[in-house]
Amino acid sequence: MSPRFEATGLSRRFGRVQALDNADFDVDAGEVVALIGDNGAGKSTLVKALTGNLDLDAGEVRFEGEPVHFATPQDASRLGIEVVHQDLALAPHLDAAQNMFLGREVMRPGVLGHLGFMDTPQMRRRSAQAFTELGSAVRSVVVPVGSMSGGQKQTVAIARAVAWADKVLFLDEPTAALGVVQTRNVLDTIKKVRDRGIAVVLISHSMPHVLEVADRVQVLRLGRRVATYRGADTSVEELVGAMTGALDPKEGAA
Amino acid sequence: MSTSTGAGTGTSTAPTASTIETTAAHGNLTDRVKAMQSVWILGVLVVIVAVFGVMSPSTFLTTGNLTNIAQNVSIWAVLAVGMTFVIITSGIDLSVGSVLVVSSVVSAKVMESMGDSGWTTALVGLALAVVVGIFWGALNGFLVARAKVPPLIVTLGTLSVALGVAQILTGGLDIRSAPQVLQDNIGYGRLAGIPAITIIALVVVVLGGIMLHRTRFGRYTYAIGSNETSARRVGINVDRKLVQIYALSGFLAGIAGILSLAQYGTTTIAGQSLTNLNVIAAVVIGGTSIFGGQGSMFGSMVGLFIPAVLQSGFVIVGVSPYWQTVAVGSILITAVYVDQHRRAAAVRGG
Amino acid sequence: MRSNLRFTAAGLGAALALAACSTGAPSSDSSGGSSGGGNDNKNIAFVQGVAGDEFYITMQCGIEAKAKELGYTVTTQGPQKFDPTLQKPIVDSVTASKPAALLVAPTDVQAMQAPLQQAAAAGIKVVLVDTTVNDPSFAVSEISSDNVGGGKAAFDAIKQAKPSGGKVLVISTDPGVSTVDARVKGFEDAAKADSAFNYLGVQYSHNDPATAANLVSSALQKDPDIVGIFATNLFSAEGSATGVRQAGAKDLTIVGFDAGPNQIKALEDGTVQALVAQQPGTIGTDGVEQAVAALTGGSVEKKIQTGFTIITKDNLSGEGGQAAYKSTC
């Protein structure tokens, strides 16, 4: 059976810089794959290419075995693929429920709905349910997101993405700038999302966090995948070595 | 919503849905009003009214005077509805006064040429004023959203252009022939003792408030002002919404144009010069953030009454006109200062 | 919530402080007495066309002096701009304060009709000063300068300086202001009647000195041989003087209307050659006299026209200097 989401031979050049050089990638359902690499290794270029934010020079992307092409992020959304960007893209003045359903509001039935009236109670109820299921630290769906802690904001962004993405979830540096307790909540959330059968791709600089939640770790260097490890079998030293090129592992070690 | 969200995760030790707050912090209406941004400024208004009421109870707190105040803010109230939407998107509309004038000029000119002074003429005039208003508003919106010219510049430009067009159309001479039915029924008519113009303004304000606070259009207005990038990422057509929001402001300026014609019986080409600033001040005093994302229709209305009540009260107790401008300016700055602090406190979780 | 309360308190404090200002304000001399009503009501309200204009200040001085003499108190109000949409709320509030009499300079013949009629209907004796409305029948008296005569006087002043004739231009404020229209008409009639002069018409400055300056410098680009300009009011004259200076034109006679400190300065500097001064003080004095006459059952004159003083450099130290407007009483 083919992986849920995979890419082979991706290449992209910006002027004289070869940002992606024949890179491969794959993630399966119910699995957390960490994507690591030094700055400039091509992590964000790869994520952009996989989510319809960037055109490719060469390469093939397959979703559940079928070749796909995403011209816009909305194309990826339609297949159940969402990204939680580092800036979270939340509207700080709106509350958690309003953010959760922004752009996808549930309308009142009948004439009122056609007039543009929203079904606020239902959106709040469903948001609360979503947060509960993720075991999130969010205690209210009716206070502005701007007044929440960094960890709570992160959970809102993840919950929003998960609510619409039941296939693949990309998380860009979700624990940067978070405290210890908040980081713990976010990592727990990631595990819960995985346990629901969603493929999770985690981009992070924090090796301990990567080792805690990742089932597999894929290392990018100079625009290509240089190594893949099992999260349970590897160590910080090994990962750092692979990232910097000090070790020269073979592709597909896992 | 994905189907998986609906399926409960039985093993979860997390709080159940019922422990997460899903209703506005406090249930009953009084508490909800208390939680609003504009509540402290309402307190200020109440204090001002009380002070003047004590100083001259037999004149200030009369039905006649309060009715006059309400009547005199009616036209600004209609404009403030549109301005609230625009400022919540973190925009600004300086052109409302000029658009009001040009709408009333076009409509007065056509009504004059129809020669008749009845309701048909008045309705044609209203339709024209509204069309002219929407045109200028949509032009503002197009230039802001598509041409990416800052709203301050765009509307400063259309302020001037629209006024110029009004002067060209009339040769600078006010048209003083508004249909009698407009002046008698709208401008000076009353229903149950309340000026008709105030009732019309109230209807516009209530509809505007519902639109802002209850509909998806209003939600997107907040979203654009709060975080435009995020609004775009979730698939909101931000450009189209901005055109619609500025067009709404123009539409309301068109309605205000007809109301002004009804109230003053003339096109006030040389007047309305401070209308834009007065309306912006009211909206900002009412707690709408000039940086976008925040504000309420109720607040704008309170903000509109503060300068009006101050002016009326100052005139009645006999304070020099210079002190009135000092007072309104001070309240504007105080309002924004206090609001900033409240907001900072809210972010700190205080 | 604690901090919310604190800020609410701060806001209320600010409001109270503002309200407290009112008791210390300079012209609140009538405070407390405005609700008298009946025969012992000795309050006169004066609503200016625009606050801060020397013409209206001089009128206010005349009003206050006469009122004091007759035992009345005066409260003066005025809009920030010469704009009926700003003046109407003020008149409405004045009406609510029920003064015995209201002296008012209406900012629009149509727009101010209804609010002033309402004031008269409330039993207030309304005296129209300087400007008027379409149907002034509700007013006890109208007092203004003979503006047509003023316009003619301005033309005579130009003719005196430029006997050989030439092109003449008028810079006015806005059309629709009755007094100003009359001045323009007086000037126009006199200019057209004299074949030596070529009347170029009127340009509107919208009461903005900068606009007037632009209009004049542009007109001088088109017709460098303009010999005379009549500026119909304070701001138009100030702007015209600037415009002439900007264009570097010389040997041109500017006749201003009104005689505020800046015009007197311009006259002293030689930028303006003559000023047609109204007598706002007299208008004010007459206004109070008529209002009091109406209140006490004396005989009232329905319409009074006041005269002019022509000020030139030559009479500045004497009669002309006394006719200059004041910026304080």
Chains in contact with chain C (at least 3 beta-carbon pairs closer than 8 A): B
pLDDT of residue B63: 85
Identify whether C20 is part of a domain.
no
Q: Using a threshold of 3 CB pairs under 8 A, tell whether chains A and C touch.
A: no
Contact A135 B294 (CB under 8 A): no
Contact A164 B2 (CB under 8 A): yes
Q: Determine which of A195-199, A243-247, B161-165, C45-49 has the lowest per-residue pLDDT on average.
A: A243-247
| Chain B residue with minimum CA distance to A124 | B22
Identify whether B150 is part of a domain.
yes
Identify whether B38 is part of a domain.
no
Q: Is B158 on the interface with A (CB under 8 A)?
A: no
Say if residue C187 is in the same domain as residue C316: yes
CB-based burial, B198-234: b 16+ in 10 Å, e otherwise: bbbbbebbeebbebbebbbbbbbbbbbbbbbebbbbb
Identify whether B273 is part of a domain.
yes
Residues B227, B233, B238, B241, Cα dihedral to 10°: -90
Say if residue C237 is in the same domain as residue C294: no
pLDDT of residue C292: 96
Say if residue A214's pLDDT is above 90. Answer: yes
A197 and A35 Cβ atoms separated by less than 8 Å: no
Task: Considering only residues B267 and B171, tell me which one the structure prediction assigns the higher pLDDT.
Answer: B267
Structure-token pair, residue A213: 């939640």
* Confidence category of residue B36, pLDDT binned at 50, 70, 90: low
Q: Residue with structure tokens 């309701």? A: B119
The C-alpha atoms of residue B109 and residue B95 are separated, in whole angstroms, by 21
Say if residue C93 is in the same domain as residue C151: no
Identify whether C203 is part of a domain.
yes
Identify whether B16 is part of a domain.
no
Contact B8 A133 (CB under 8 A): yes
B215 and A107 Cβ atoms separated by less than 8 Å: no
The C-alpha atoms of residue A42 and residue B190 are separated, in whole angstroms, by 71
Identify whether C328 is part of a domain.
no
**Domains within chain A, CATH numbers bracketed:** 1-80+199-254 (3.40.50.300)
Tens-place pLDDT, residues B65-93: 888 899 999 999 999 999 999 999 999 99
Say if residue C269 is in the same domain as residue C183: yes
* Confidence category of residue B17, pLDDT binned at 50, 70, 90: very low
The C-alpha angle C68, C74, C79, rounded to 5 degrees, equals 145
From the CA of A132, how many Å to the nearest CA of chain B? 5
Contact B68 C89 (CB under 8 A): yes
Show the domain range for C123. Answer: 28-144+280-303
Contact B223 A91 (CB under 8 A): yes
Show the domain range for B230. Answer: 47-53+60-343
ipTM value greater than 0.85: no
Q: What is the mean pLDDT of residues A238-252?
A: 74
Which residue of B1, B3, B241 to mutate against A (max A Cβ within 10 Å)? B1
Say if residue B323's pLDDT is above 90. Answer: no
| Chain B residue with minimum CA distance to C31 | B317
CB-based burial, A64-98: b 16+ in 10 Å, e otherwise: eeeebebeebeebbebbbbbbbeebbbbbbbbbbb
Residue C117, classified by CB atoms within 10 Å of its CB into exposed (0-12), middle (13-18) or buried (19+), is middle
The C-alpha atoms of residue A89 and residue C287 are separated, in whole angstroms, by 68
Comparing CB atoms, the residue among A74, A77, A125 nearest residue B22 is A125
Say if residue C285 is in the same domain as residue C136: yes
Say if residue C176 is in the same domain as residue C316: yes
The C-alpha atoms of residue A233 and residue C76 are separated, in whole angstroms, by 89
DSSP C304: E
The C-alpha atoms of residue A184 and residue C89 are separated, in whole angstroms, by 62
Say if residue A41's pLDDT is above 90. Answer: no
Identify whether B114 is part of a domain.
yes
DSSP C77: E
Per DSSP, the three-state class of B336 is: helix
Consecutive H or E run containing B201: helix B196-214
Say if residue C34 is in the same domain as residue C88: yes
Say if residue C168 is in the same domain as residue C51: no
Instruction: Count up the domains in chain B and report the number.
Output: 1
Comparing CB atoms, the residue among A126, A131, A133 nearest residue B9 is A133
Comparing CB atoms, the residue among B75, B171, B318 nearest residue C34 is B318
Contacts of B260 (CB under 8 A, 6+ apart): B75, B100, B104, B267, B268, B272, C85
User: Which CATH number is C34's domain given?
Assistant: 3.40.50.2300
Contacts of C3 in chain B (CB under 8 A): 341-342, 345, 350
Which among C181, C155, C149, C185 is positioned nearest to C168, based on CA atoms? C155
The C-alpha atoms of residue C306 and residue C277 are separated, in whole angstroms, by 11
Q: What is the mean pLDDT of residues A226-241?
A: 88
Say if residue C64 is in the same domain as residue C131: yes
Per DSSP, the three-state class of C171 is: strand
Structure-token pair, residue A169: 């979830």
The C-alpha atoms of residue C47 and residue C87 are separated, in whole angstroms, by 8
pLDDT of residue B98: 96
Q: Determine which of B77-91, B181-195, B294-308 has the lowest per-residue pLDDT on average.
A: B181-195
Per-residue pLDDT of chain C (329 residues; tens, 9 = 90+): 344 444 444 444 444 444 444 333 333 334 333 333 445 789 999 999 998 888 999 999 999 999 999 999 999 999 988 899 999 999 999 999 999 999 999 999 889 999 999 999 999 999 999 988 999 999 999 999 888 999 999 999 999 889 999 999 999 988 777 778 889 999 999 999 999 999 999 998 887 888 888 899 899 988 889 999 999 877 788 788 888 888 888 788 889 888 888 788 878 877 788 999 999 999 999 999 999 999 999 999 999 999 898 899 888 888 888 899 988 88
Phi, psi of C277 (to 5 degrees): -95, 130
User: Which CATH number is B268's domain given?
Assistant: 1.10.3470
Consecutive H or E run containing C261: helix C261-269
pLDDT of residue A105: 92
> Which residues 43-82 on chain C approach chain B with CB closer than 8 angstroms?
51-52, 75-82
Say if residue C267 is in the same domain as residue C319: yes
Say if residue C131 is in the same domain as residue C178: no
Instruction: Count up the domains in chain C and report the number.
Output: 2
Identify whether C43 is part of a domain.
yes
Say if residue C194 is in the same domain as residue C317: yes
The C-alpha atoms of residue A178 and residue A176 are separated, in whole angstroms, by 6
Q: Is C41 on the interface with B (CB under 8 A)?
A: no
